[in-house]
Structure 1
Amino acid sequence: MIGISFYLNDPVAEERIILAGKTGVKRAFTSLHLPEEKGELAERAKKLLHLASENGIEVFADVSYNTPSHLGINDLFQLKDLGVTGLRLDDFFDNELILALSAEFKIAINASILFEDDILTLTSKGLKTDSLIGWHNFYPRKETGLSMEFFRQQNALFKRYSIPISAYIPGAGEKRGPLFDGLPTLEEHRTQEPLLSALQLFHEGVEDVYIGDPDPGEQLLAKLLLFFEEKTIIVRTEADFLHQGTYKLRPDLSRDVLRFMDTRSKTAIAPARTEIRPLGTITMDNHLYGRYQGEIQIALRDLPADQRVNVLGKVLNDDLPLLAYLPPGASVQLV
């Protein structure tokens, strides 16, 4: 699932929620750790929660013991009526209340700092793993995001207990203050293209990817939803590329090339531009390859020239990293 994040101090949160709903987003993260003053922020929180619900967006929220009094509701259970689907319990909650809440909400536990003993403690009290989410932190300060090695270790732990995993990527637009350095889970994603970061998270077994910053940026949501819902990635090619269109990958991924289905041809294709094939080269087999004639491929590594393989064009350098994270059977839209 693809999710956005909205924050009470964002003056255009309403616009972002409405746009996300129209784009097709179904989930959002927010924080309901409100200051002691009830005031305008409490009313704004209720307004944004209602707005998200009206736009078909489930909300997962950080909460504390003080959240009900700040929002003017009786207890945390009433958050369900405001459209909240899951709770991330950052304050200390007693086991009895956690168990009661788990009957009404998904309970998010911190996948970045909890270990096997913590999971066993929760489950020994009667908490079912099918009501849990392993939700990683985001890290506003540079150099503090998780390493890939630690991230994988934690994910393997939560997978052993069949607990789904959520994590963050930065937005492609304006970053959230006060540091304005993005809100990634993984440090290597801080300055990386967000679409690539999301593909890497899905590749690592993350079920739900949230954009941590309030501004997703132009076209990012549409690209993410295109991948999540239709398993399609847009890949840019050289301006003179003549074979634009959407192609489906074979379900059996090859080591050296991406192979497009239903591209073979019975029409004779003469050898032409039988050149070396650097990473990202788009090719078509000619008649010298017999029944493979017409098959279109993209090189996943540098390959030598082959008189049976014609070079058609090349993927733009900025999009080359995407090729490594395309799952079997995905579609590639060459533009």
Structure 2
Amino acid sequence: MKREIGISIYPDASNNEEDRIYIEKAAKLGYTRMFISMLEVSEGKETVKRKFKELISYSRDKGFEVILDVAPNIFDDLGISYDDLSFFAELEAHGVRLDVGFDGFKESLMTFNEHDLIIELNMSNNVAYLDNIFTYKPNASAIYGCHNFYPQKNTGLPFDFFVECSQRFKSKGLKTAAFVTCSNGNQGPWDINDGLPTLEEHRNMPLTSQVKHLFATDLIDVVIIGNGYATDKELEEMAQVNRNQVEFLYDSIGEHSELEKNIIEEQHYRRGDITSQVIRSTQVRVKYQNNDNPSNQKEARFEVGDIVIGNNDFGKYKNELQVVLEPHEDSRKNLVGKISKDEIMLLKYIHPWSKFKFKQNQ
């Protein structure tokens, strides 16, 4: 399934002109999903309709798929019904996210709505909710899944629970989404905003590391910035994240030969017959087997996340690239870089035959 990135808009916490600027910037960078919150609307139906339709129409013109986040109180406040989704079709939304679920049968009926609206379900509950919906034979092609975000510090999902919840949706082949948080965005649905991630461990991490982590799990297809507005730099950096393989951010160590620089920049994959001490990328040693690579080591003590390349003393294994998983010493390897500390956690997603690359920290 194609992987996408997205942004969030809070019309009752922002102004139209700033929203348009933000939307245009994101669109130019390749963002394609938009989450728009309707949880906090407080104006009358016609006012809400006019404001949201204008925003959604502009977003669609910029290439966004727009999902509106809704809850039961919104239906009551606006005098509309879950049994008639025409209001959201008139707004030109692509779908609605149900922050709160029903009995399963109602959701299944909603997936056959005459307006072809996507019905996005809350993924952040590890119960048989989705299984129940599927017993009522829904239109599966009209179902997406999307996790919650958590504005209050220390209330985000723990990772193991996140995995269990997500696996329920991926097992059905559904498109899935989750949220990351930008550093200084102060817009959200409520008056508390300690960031808006899905995973608690992401709350104080760099944005790009959060994004890489979610994609690396192979459980999330769409990563959305939960709070607004991300800075131009954050938008650009997130847009540059490799969505299809882990691309480790690393710091260069010492002076490298042109050979070592070339080796680092290659496409890498882990050998199928793995070892616990290092991740081995062996094809580069074949490509560069005739290139001289003198030892540059004074102390050859390596730590987890170190990037090393075999030197001339390594015989057949000269110019093999390895990423250290367990501390060890070996003078036959040159230390060439260190993976950024926030991305050490991505090492566990490099499985047998996994592809990976490196990008130098600027």
- TM-score, normalization by structure 2: 0.78
Of 279, 301, 313, 1:257 maps to 279
Q: Secondary structure at the match of 1:168?
A: strand
Of 108, 118, 123, 1:111 maps to 123
Of 14, 35, 58, 1:10 maps to 14
- CA deviations on 1:193-242 (whole Å, 9 max, x unpaired) are 23222222223312222111112334333333333446463624147554
Whole-Å separation in 2 of the counterparts to 1:102 and 1:123? 20
- Contact 1:45–1:71, Cα closer than 8 Å, also in 2: no
Q: Following TM superposition, by how much is the alpha carbon of 1:27 offset from its aligned partner in structure 2, in angstroms?
A: 0.8
Whole-Å separation in 2 of the counterparts to 1:305 and 1:239? 17
- CA deviations on 1:52-111 (whole Å, 9 max, x unpaired) are 111111111123676799699xx6346457552221134677458514328712211111
Of 175, 182, 206, 1:164 maps to 175
Q: Following TM superposition, by how much is the alpha carbon of 1:15 offset from its aligned partner in structure 2, in angstroms?
A: 1.4
Q: Structure 2: give runs of 5+ residues left out of the alignment.
A: none
Alignment of 1:221-300 (within 5 A): 221-229=235-243, 231=245, 233=247, 235-238=249-252, 240-242=254-256, 243=261, 246-252=265-271, 254=274, 255=276, 256-257=278-279, 259=281, 261-262=283-284, 264-273=288-297, 275-300=300-325
Whole-Å separation in 2 of the counterparts to 1:316 and 1:154? 29
- Contact 1:172–1:215, Cα closer than 8 Å, also in 2: no
- CA deviations on 1:264-310 (whole Å, 9 max, x unpaired) are 3412223331611122333221223233322333323322123x212
How many positions carry a matched residue from both structures? 331
Equivalent residue number for residue 151 of structure 1: 162
Q: Following TM superposition, by how much is the alpha carbon of 1:170 offset from its aligned partner in structure 2, in angstroms?
A: 1.1
Instruction: Give the alignment's Cα RMSD to 1 decimal.
Output: 3.3
Q: Structure 1: give runs of 5+ residues left out of the alignment.
A: none
Equivalent residue number for residue 212 of structure 2: 199
Between 1:61-70 and 1:80-89, the stretch displaced more is 61-70
Whole-Å separation in 2 of the counterparts to 1:56 and 1:332? 30
Of 165, 177, 189, 2:202 maps to 189
1:230 to 1:157, Cα distance in 2 relative to 1, 3 A: closer
1:229 to 1:285, Cα distance in 2 relative to 1, 3 A: same
Whole-Å separation in 1 of the counterparts to 2:358 and 2:211? 16
- Contact 2:182–2:227, Cα closer than 8 Å, also in 1: yes
Equivalent residue number for residue 142 of structure 1: 153
Aligned AA (1:154): C
Aligned AA (2:284): D
1:41 to 1:21, Cα distance in 2 relative to 1, 3 A: same
Q: Following TM superposition, by how much is the alpha carbon of 1:258 offset from its aligned partner in structure 2, in angstroms?
A: 5.3
Whole-Å separation in 2 of the counterparts to 1:62 and 1:331? 36
Between 1:270-279 and 1:220-229, the stretch displaced more is 220-229
Q: Following TM superposition, by how much is the alpha carbon of 1:42 offset from its aligned partner in structure 2, in angstroms?
A: 3.9
* Residue 314 (structure 2) pairs with residue 302 (structure 1): no
Q: What is the percent sequence identity of the aligned residues?
A: 24
Q: Secondary structure at the match of 2:266?
A: strand
Between 1:158-167 and 1:201-210, the stretch displaced more is 158-167
1:115 to 1:312, Cα distance in 2 relative to 1, 3 A: closer
